[in-house]
Amino acid sequence: MKIHHVLLFCFLSAAFCGGNTGTVSGQLSTYTGAAGGNGTMKCYLPVSGNTKFFCKEECQNVVTVTDGVTAKSGRYSITYRNVSLKTVILSVNFINLTQTDSGRYRCGLGKTFVAPDSYWNFEIRVSDAPLGITSDFVRTNTEGENATYECITAVGEGAFFFCKNQCRKQEDVLMNTTSLKAQSGRYAIEFIRGSIFGLYVTITKVNKSDTRWYRCGYGDPWSPNSNFSFPVLVNGECVVRLMKMLLHNLCSVQNI
């Protein structure tokens, strides 16, 4: 069947909030949005606390707080929903992005936002240059840093894999292991029981040549039990050119 629509959704939906809950890296994840556009961050959190909050600079500037399922403050809003017995999503919406929206943010749950039970930290950058899209954020990595990604929709246990492109050829398979934690060169896989996502993959010291689609999941790489596809964008040169590269690769995906 055709998969490019699914991959486009995975690419444009910023579902990789980077923070301190359930991740294997303390690195702050960065997302880029187009000035004048809109964007949504999806923060995956353990079920805990009635108060939902969204704030800037580690809550030095509180944007919105609510005990309900939705709240709005000017150009910002949050929406809360359960997705499983142990996970909820707190969606943070930005409308009509401006340069003043650039900065570090936190979203979370708890009895109060001052002492939250769980939260995610992330950074937003607003680009004046057109990104090829006007809605949602694109996760971006800087050359030389370590990039960890969560296999969000992949579910399973036992055998794990990490591939570049679409896992169609042997040389696309970066890792294929039954170990809970393994590394091969600059690539690593770690399965953490009880964490929000379970399976995490890492590329060490990313560079521009790492800009492409990747796939991680459970089972056999060529016949996976479950898997998740995501793009890695390294903005060491020009984010606009790299965006076009990823979109071109996306449109060229055929049947699998």
Q: How far is CA 91 from CA 72, 82, 111, 210, in A?
A: 12, 11, 19, 29
Residue 254 in this model has a pLDDT that exceeds 70:
no
Report the b/e string of 106-127 with b at 16+ CB within 10 A.
Answer: bbbbbeebeebbbbbbbebbbb
* DSSP 8-state assignment for residue 52: E
Q: Can you give the residue ranges of every domain in the chain?
A: 13-140, 147-251
The whole-number average pLDDT for the span 174-194 is 95
Confidence of residue 255 (pLDDT cuts 50, 70, 90): very low
| Total-model pTM | 0.69
- What's the whole-number average pLDDT of the chain? 80
Torsion of CA 79, 80, 83, 84, to 10 degrees: 170
Which one has a higher pLDDT value, 228 or 235?
228
Instruction: Give 242 or 13, the one with higher predicted confidence.
Output: 242
Domains 13-140 and 147-251 share a fold: yes
Residue 187 and residue 201 in contact, taking contact as beta carbons nearer than 8 Å: yes
Among the four given CATH numbers 3.40.605.10, 2.160.10.10, 1.10.760.10, 2.60.40.10, the one describing domain 13-140: 2.60.40.10
pLDDT at 241: 52
Banded pLDDT at 27 (limits 50, 70, 90) = low
Strand pairing report for 29-34 and 118-127 = parallel
Q: Which of 23-37, 38-52, 134-148, 179-193 has the lowest mean pLDDT?
A: 23-37
List the CATH code of the domain at 147-251.
2.60.40.10
Ranges assigned E (strand) in 15-167: 29-34, 39-46, 51-56, 61-66, 70-73, 76-82, 87-94, 103-110, 118-127, 138-140, 147-150, 160-164
pLDDT value of residue 156? 87
Q: What backbone torsions phi and psi does residue 71 show, to the nearest 5 degrees?
A: -160, 150
**175-188: average pLDDT:** 96
- Taking only the tens place, the pLDDT of each residue in 45-67 is 887 778 899 999 878 888 989 98
- Taking 90 as the threshold, does the pLDDT of residue 161 lie above it? yes
Among 163, 198, 196, residue whose Cα is nearest residue 180:
198
Q: Which two tokens mark 194? A: 């009880």
pLDDT tens for residues 109-122?
988 787 788 898 99
**Nearest-CA neighbor of 45 among 33, 37, 54?**
54
pLDDT, tens digit, 9 for 90 and up, residues 80-137: 988 777 788 899 999 999 999 999 999 999 887 877 888 989 999 998 866 555 567 8
What per-residue confidence (pLDDT) applies to 148? 92
Taking residues 199-222, what's their average pLDDT? 94
Q: Does the pLDDT at position 138 exceed 50?
A: yes
